[in-house]
Chain A
Amino acid sequence: MTAIEEPRTLVLDAEEARRARNARLEKVGRWVLPVVIMLAAIFMWDRICVWNEIPKYILPRPGVVLDTLIADAGLLFSSLLVTLRITFFSLVLAAVGGVGLAILFTQSKWVEMSLFPFAIVLQVTPIVAIFPLINIYVDNQTAKLLLCSWIVAFFPILSNTTLGLNSVDRNLIDLFRLNGATRWQQLWHLRLPAAMPYFLGGLKIAGGLSLIGAVVAEFVAGAAGQSSGLASRIIEAGYRLNAPRLFAALFLISLTGILIFLVLTLVSHLILRSWHESAVRQEG
């Protein structure tokens, strides 16, 4: 069930042979195709810059961006570290806060009914609009950014986990009751495992959002004061018409987003692979 075996000694009819060939092609194409298209796009970008003689302060050639990335590596990577730290901690806080609130919600319908509107209000109000208030109430720069990024990231975890904790098979709940399970046992042995796929789905969304939150917060805060994350580098480069550095910073942010997504997908796959339909490889 792990890999598709090469059908060496098998005699296949035409249809099966075609199916096997298509499966092999698809396996290779899945990786090769995006890479080829990406390389072609970068090549076209380079050509367009050359053909139209676009100055590098408007649209730098890819090679220039790469040179800048290497030349400014010290500056850019220390900024990346700042942004990463905010992203990571806000994601951790979002996971802890989201799951904690979701557990609180499932302990009592009343709590859920009372508090859920607040969570929605926090979610639907654009963070950029809330930030000036946070700026007034919170002094510490890191705390500001964390709070901002947390507000953006925690909601998908909260709503998904709440849904998951409430989506337990009724019969399994009856079974736990029949066996005299305590609330704690029911939560630990039944509700939390059942909510795991939902939580991980929320976490995947929250991973991207916490990066967006961290960058947006820094944008708004950077305009108001000192900061040294990637967003401030972008603003700064924008003011100085340093387009190559702007692109380099942008590239790092995208790369970070992709990495976060891949890591969370991997984590999700590792946790669910033994039992959940979403992570089970289709056979036959």
Chain B
Amino acid sequence: MSSANGLVQQQVEADPLLMLRGIGKTFSNGTTALRDADMTIREGDFLSLLGPSGCGKSTALRIIAGLLSPTSGVLDWRKTLDRDSVGFVFQEPTLMPWANVFENVWLPLRLRGVSRAKAAPAVHELLERVRLTGFEKAMPRELSGGMKMRVSIARGLVTKPRLLLMDEPFAALDEITRFRLNNDLLGLWQDERFTVVFVTHSVFESVFLSNRIVVMAARPGRVFEELAVDAPYPRDEKFRTSPDYAALCRQASDVLVDAINATATDVRA
């Protein structure tokens, strides 16, 4: 296991899925949430957007999802993805409280006109993957925070998306639950080979999960530096306590501190 190198060269051998070119977003109240952001999301990436609050990481994610339109710049999709191929997981579980677990996971398919019977195999398979078999009839209020989040992840994956966007999904969970969900998510990612863009403010989480980290700075929100996390998968609890992991975390943390202290014009990448 070699330690991570700092700056990453453009890796030509990987297949780009989406390139953000000069993406900026200014809201009508005058706030510039994101300025001139460039980044490349490659097929199969687990890419984390890491930064302090106000750095535009959620804005970037929402622009990629199509929930916001950029003020400037272009989203350059290198593979044609239809809307079935993008999944989204929110910061909160965002489940419908009046619907049971099955119906919540079924929802994205239901909105595409897939009947309950036709959707059942896919829903059951995903519930099994997130260890919720037998909870199909449970209502969200009967579940713990971690279980709700697992339902939310299952819902995000039920359409078999090629790109999964996650907006600080585990921020509100306790540490033990978060670690378990980190492992679950990595397992799913390795088996299904979808691409993940993962927004987080946790250095440790981003290093544990990702193969690439985009560190962002605030005021105005911008891309500060890109890091590669040079550690092999599968990563497990042993990795979490290894010296390599600690070294990678320190490195990422140093960059994050620089990003936090950076003046408005500093961009290292």
- Is the beta-carbon distance between B111 and A280 smaller than 8 angstroms? no
How many chain B residues touch the partner (CB < 8 A)? 23
Closest Cβ–Cβ distance, residue A161 to chain B (whole Å): 16
- Is the beta-carbon distance between A176 and B98 smaller than 8 angstroms? no
- Is the beta-carbon distance between A171 and B94 smaller than 8 angstroms? yes
Q: Is the interface of B mostly helix, strand, loop or mixed?
A: loop
Q: Check A193 for interface membership: any CB of B closer than 8 A.
A: yes
A174-B67, A275-B141 are known contacts. Are A179 and B111 too (CB-CB below 8 A)?
yes
Q: Check B54 for interface membership: any CB of A closer than 8 A.
A: no
> A275 vs B157: C-alpha distance in the bound complex, in angstroms?
25
> A185 vs B91: C-alpha distance in the bound complex, in angstroms?
24
A180-B83, A196-B98, A280-B141 are known contacts. Are A189 and B110 too (CB-CB below 8 A)?
yes
A174-B67, A175-B88, A178-B66 are known contacts. Are A276 and B111 too (CB-CB below 8 A)?
no
- Is the beta-carbon distance between B98 and A178 smaller than 8 angstroms? no
The number of inter-chain residue pairs (CB within 8 angstroms) is: 54
> A172 vs B98: C-alpha distance in the bound complex, in angstroms?
13
- Is the beta-carbon distance between A193 and B83 smaller than 8 angstroms? no
Q: Check B120 for interface membership: any CB of A closer than 8 A.
A: no
Interface string of B14-32 (1 = CB under 8 A from A): 0000000000000000000
Q: Check A73 for interface membership: any CB of B closer than 8 A.
A: no
Q: Check B65 for interface membership: any CB of A closer than 8 A.
A: yes
Most A Cβ at <10 Å: residue of B66, B67, B86, B98? B98
- Is the beta-carbon distance between B94 and A189 smaller than 8 angstroms? no
Chain B residues with CB below 8 A from A190, complex form: 96
Q: Check B90 for interface membership: any CB of A closer than 8 A.
A: yes
Interface string of B82-99 (1 = CB under 8 A from A): 010010101110101111
A171-B94, A275-B98 are known contacts. Are A189 and B139 too (CB-CB below 8 A)?
no
Contact with A175, one of B66, B83, B90, B141 (Cβ below 8 angstroms): B90
> A194 vs B90: C-alpha distance in the bound complex, in angstroms?
19
A180-B83, A189-B107, A275-B141 are known contacts. Are A172 and B112 too (CB-CB below 8 A)?
no
Q: Is the interface of A mostly helix, strand, loop or mixed?
A: helix
- Is the beta-carbon distance between B111 and A189 smaller than 8 angstroms? yes
A172-B96, A275-B140 are known contacts. Are A178 and B110 too (CB-CB below 8 A)?
no
Chain B residues with CB below 8 A from A194, complex form: 98
Q: Check B108 for interface membership: any CB of A closer than 8 A.
A: yes
- Is the beta-carbon distance between B88 and A274 smaller than 8 angstroms? no
Chain B residues with CB below 8 A from A23, complex form: none
> A29 vs B65: C-alpha distance in the bound complex, in angstroms?
57
A178-B65, A178-B83, A179-B112 are known contacts. Are A275 and B139 too (CB-CB below 8 A)?
yes
> A176 vs B111: C-alpha distance in the bound complex, in angstroms?
8
Within 8 A of A (CB), among B177-191: none
> A81 vs B141: C-alpha distance in the bound complex, in angstroms?
43
Chain A residues with CB below 8 A from B66, complex form: 178
Q: Check A21 for interface membership: any CB of B closer than 8 A.
A: no
> A124 vs B150: C-alpha distance in the bound complex, in angstroms?
49
> A247 vs B52: C-alpha distance in the bound complex, in angstroms?
72
CB closest chain-B residue, reference A274: B139
Give me the interface of A with B, judged by CB distance under 8 Å. 169, 171-172, 174-181, 185, 189-190, 193-194, 196, 274-277, 280
Give me the interface of B with A, judged by CB distance under 8 Å. 65-67, 83, 86, 88, 90-92, 94, 96-99, 107-108, 110-112, 139-141, 159
Q: 8 A-B contacts, Cβ less than 8 Å apart?
A: A169-B94, A174-B67, A175-B94, A179-B83, A275-B97, A275-B98, A276-B97, A277-B141
Given contacts A169-B94, A179-B111, A189-B111, 11 further A-B contacts (CB under 8 A): A178-B67, A178-B88, A179-B83, A185-B111, A189-B110, A190-B96, A193-B98, A193-B99, A194-B98, A275-B139, A275-B140
